[in-house]
Structure 1
Amino acid sequence: MGGGSAVPRYSQIVGELRRRIEAGELAPGDRVPSTREITRQWGVAMATATKVLTELRREGVVHAVPGVGTVVTAVPTNPAATTPASTPARSPASASPVGRAARPARSAAPARPGAPSDATAGGQTGLTLARIVHAAVLVADAEGLAAVSMRRVAAELGVATMSLYRHVTDKDDLLVRMMDAAIAERPLPTEPPPGWREALEVAARQLWGLFRLHPWLAPALSLTRPQLITSALAYSEWVLEALHARGLDDQTAFTAHLTLLNYIRGLAQNLETEREAEAQSGLDSEEWMDTQESAFQSTLDGGRYPGLARLAKSGYDLDLDGLFEFGLQRLLDGLATLLGEGDTSGG
């Protein structure tokens, strides 16, 4: 047998990253090198780096998480080896984001604790409000809020659409209950930390985590027409009490609360819009940026934007978690000044 052609460079890099994943050096949820990092580490062109991540996603080894990047998928690298022939392997798009265990397929998902199982044809016997809300949340988590309809939720539960109306008034009612259930998943601690700043950090980070867990939640919440969501009231009360303890009046404390809430909510809305954009274009944020690089660079070459030109040379990897933390601390610094504290590092 004659000497074959050399292994393509992108295949070598794919093999190296696959080896790291299989060896556990890159665990499920860990971020893999971005296209820019691949170009630096292996000295290849951006097109080659993009091809590397595309191939790994095609294999189901990695998947994109909005605002984080491309991460290792929490499923076996060879699903066919462990998945029964009758059960289709999960696609990369349905894999779990960073820090979340893989969710079982909805058809196999157990009912919430205490919910009766379907004992008769059509599942009508076990239909409860909790199961309806749970099914709707799963659809929204997997496919976005636009995919949630009364008909779709009924289909997920294997019941007639009209049977849902014995438990919820309409889709708006269902949405409020979905938000209430999602926020209730992460109750605040029984006792807040002693300092006002630490207390606000706890609430803000916990809310950001909820928005990450449920990307549809931030766009669903309204600032100007707030829905009555019982589980969310605990967050408002938590922040108000922390600021009242430092002497802020009701109006100022509530304004501060809304400012903090809308900062977190506004940033989190990028999670859902990025997911929708990726679904429509077939490109994750890094791949889309690659398609814009030449046009962006030609604009910067004119010398009109020297600051951006310097940044383009050094590179900038957008990290929504880092952006959230930076903005949170600056907001709290501002509140510390309002409270007359010279040292903004603590409560």
Structure 2
Amino acid sequence: MAATTEPPYLRIVRDIRRRIAEGDLRPGDRVPSTRQLATEWGVALATATRALTTLSQDGVVRAQPRVGTVVAVPDAAPEPSRSRRRATPNPTQSTEPELTRERVVRAAIAIADAEGLEALSMRGVAARLGVATMSPYRYVNSKDELTLLMADAAYGEQGYPEPPPAGWRARLELGARTLWRLHQRHPWLAQLSPLTRPLPLPNLMVHGEWVLAALDGLGLDPATMLDLNILIYSLVQGLAANLEREAQARAATGISEEEWIDGQAPAIDALASSGSHPTYVKILDSFARTGYDLDLDRLFETGLRALLDGFAALVQERAGQRPGSAG
């Protein structure tokens, strides 16, 4: 009787377990992404996804949003049972867990959160769910449709209080910070569509309605109200896009942002010593001891404050052009 060839995904599983056991990968360390595993082992993305899914189901690794898949703590990584290791799916038996559209969408969101939108595929979703490759197609027609469902679900994770806070500025602050938190939780949202092609999503409209309702009654014309709504969204989207890009760059190069900056030191020094950028040099010198930490949360708050100050000036200007005053 011929020996059974071990499936490729199990070889990947065994190798990662070995690296963890030997200390090459420690708790909290990022394991190779699905794309890296697919390249390293010469397998399809779905095979790499199945390997990570198997390790996740066994408690060996866990998905960490904005980081990727990391090694779990030792006591959460039990060796799979002997019966489980030997189990082989029987195509004649219906052992597939019950699916719903919500389960498919949530599995896809988990992949995008951990690995980025580029790593998302229908095969990968099926592998994560442990079902046949074509099973998700019973609930969504395509990856494009799935992506829209993911975005709508993500935007629906947070809503707004009733009654709303008093004052248009407090409402806009809450709306902007709510969108920012959602984009931090799901950085891939910023990659979906340019501002010129808005997505007609019910749950995204909830956030737009909140902002527009805050601006209503301030004497602004409809075009200006929409412009201000877009400016708030663009602040969130523009900053959040860097979360996903940094994760992609780290996965592709294996280099952290700190290591990348260190590698640019010669080029930065050359610019500084050219004598053509005195203000730039003065700013750099002020951070000689403490360094500069590019904090996206701080940038968001600074940008939001500047935007709302500008809105306030515009509201005051419009209030001066009509009877009464803006609230």
Taking structure 2 as the reference length, what is the TM-score of the superposition? 0.69
* 2: CA distance, partners of 1:97 / 1:149: 19
Shift of the 228–161 alpha-carbon distance from structure 1 to 2, 3 Å rule, reads farther
Contact kept, 8 Å, 2:66 with 2:247, in 1: the verdict is no
Contact 2:101 2:140 in 1 (8 A): yes
Indicate the residue corresponding to 1:214 in structure 2.
186
**Distance in 2 of aligned mates of 1:97 and 1:162:** 29
In the alignment, the residues of structure 2 paired with residue 282 and residue 240 of structure 1 have an alpha-carbon distance, to the nearest angstrom, of 43
Partner secondary structure for residue 276 of structure 2: coil
Structure 2 counterpart of 1:251, one-letter code: A
Q: Decide which of 316, 324, 328 is 2:292's aligned counterpart.
A: 316
Separation in 1, partners of 2:284, 2:118: 36
Equivalences for residues 126-275 of structure 1 within 5 A: 126-275=98-247
RMSD: 3.0
Structure 2 match to 1:39: none
1:331 aligns with one of 304, 307, 310: 307
The amino acid across from 1:163 in the alignment is S
Shift of 1:302: 2.4
CA contact (8 A) 2:59 2:72 kept: no
Tell me the matched-pair count: 247
Structure 2 CA distance for partners of 1:241 and 1:186, relative to 1, 3 Å: same
Given that 2:171 and 2:214 are in contact with CA atoms closer than 8 Å, whether structure 1 keeps it comes out as: yes
Shifted more, 298-307 versus 273-282: the winner is: 298-307
* Partner of residue 293 from structure 1, selected from 259, 262, 265: 265
Instruction: Report the CA distance between 1:88 and its aligned residue.
Output: 6.1
Partner of 1:280: 252
In structure 1, the partner of 2:96 is 123
SS in 2 for 1:339: helix
Superposition TM-score, scaled by structure 1 size: 0.65
How far, CA to CA, are the matches of 2:59 and 2:107 in structure 1?
20
Deviation at 1:298, TM superposition (A): 2.3
Report the identity percentage. 44
**Residue deviations 1:217-274, cap 9 Å, x none?**
1111432222221111111111111111322222211111011111211111001001
Greater mean alpha carbon deviation, residues 133-142 or residues 186-195: 186-195
- Structure 1 residue runs of 5 or longer lacking an equivalent are 1-56, 64-83, 106-119
Distance 2:270 2:231 in 1: 38
- Corresponding residue for 2:61? 90
Render the CA deviation track for 1:285-320: whole Å, top value 9, x for unaligned.
111000111221122112221111122221321111
Question: Are 1:128 and 1:167, in contact at CA under 8 Å, matched by a contact in 2?
Answer: yes
Amino acid at match of 2:295: D
Checking the alignment, whether the CA contact within 8 Å between 1:176 and 1:228 is kept in structure 2 is no
Residue 87 of structure 1: how far off its partner (Å): 4.5
CA distance in 2, matches of 1:221, 1:329: 25
Asked if the contact 2:152–2:201 (Cα under 8 Å) also holds between the matched residues in 1, the reply is: yes
Deviating more after overlay: 200-209 vs 255-264: 255-264
> How many Å separate the matches in 2 of 1:293 and 1:222?
33
Deviation (angstroms), 1:61: 5.8
**Counterpart position of 1:21:** none
SS of residue matched to 1:190: coil
Query: Are the equivalent residues in 2 in contact too, given 1:300–1:308 (CA < 8 A)?
Result: yes
